[in-house]
Amino acid sequence: MPYAGPWYESAGWLLIVLFYLIMGLSSLSREETRLAISRMTELGVPFPRAAFWAGLAMQFAGIALLVSAWRVEIGICLLIAVTVMASALFHRFWTMQDAFRRAVSRRMLLHNMAIVGGLLLLFRLAP
């Protein structure tokens, strides 16, 4: 881990890295990949397969930079970009007709906003 400060800062750093690592690894399953690319196709994303793999590559690159403590600021920016892009694509709650889906999507967008806030705080801890 690149940061050796108070335990709560190290724990926060680790939780953010684990979040992105677990989400990235789960996205590699055949079913998750198929569902994500299918949804991107429905949403009209150009080159959905390439966009999916590019986003996943950015995510893993961001994780690697944070874990290696090399160019941490770039890693943080990559994870912010992936989170913002995914939110803009998948959590357009205002377009959803179904009340339950709209509520879940709104909450997911708010969760992602909080995650971006945590990533922004990592800039203070960057070596």
The tens digit of pLDDT for each residue in 7-35 reads: 888 899 999 999 999 999 999 999 999 99
Which tokens hold the place of 100?
């339950």
For the chain, percent helix, then strand, then coil, each to nearest 5? 80, 0, 20
Q: Which of 55, 54, 72 is nearest to 63 (CA)?
A: 72
The answer to whether the predicted template modeling score (pTM) of the entire model surpasses 0.95 is: no
Q: Give the SS3 label for residue 78.
A: helix
| Residue in this structure with the two tokens 């892009």, named with its chain if needed | 85
Banded pLDDT at 39 (limits 50, 70, 90)? very high
Q: Which of 23, 1, 3 is nearest to 115 (CA)?
A: 23
Burial of 106 (0-12, 13-18, 19+ CB in 10 A): middle
The tens digit of pLDDT for each residue in 63-95 reads: 999 999 899 999 999 999 999 999 999 999 999
Domain spans in the chain, listed from the N-terminal domain onward: 7-125
Question: What is the three-state SS of 29-75?
Answer: CHHHHHHHHHHHHHCCCCCHHHHHHHHHHHHHHHHHHHHHCCCHHHH
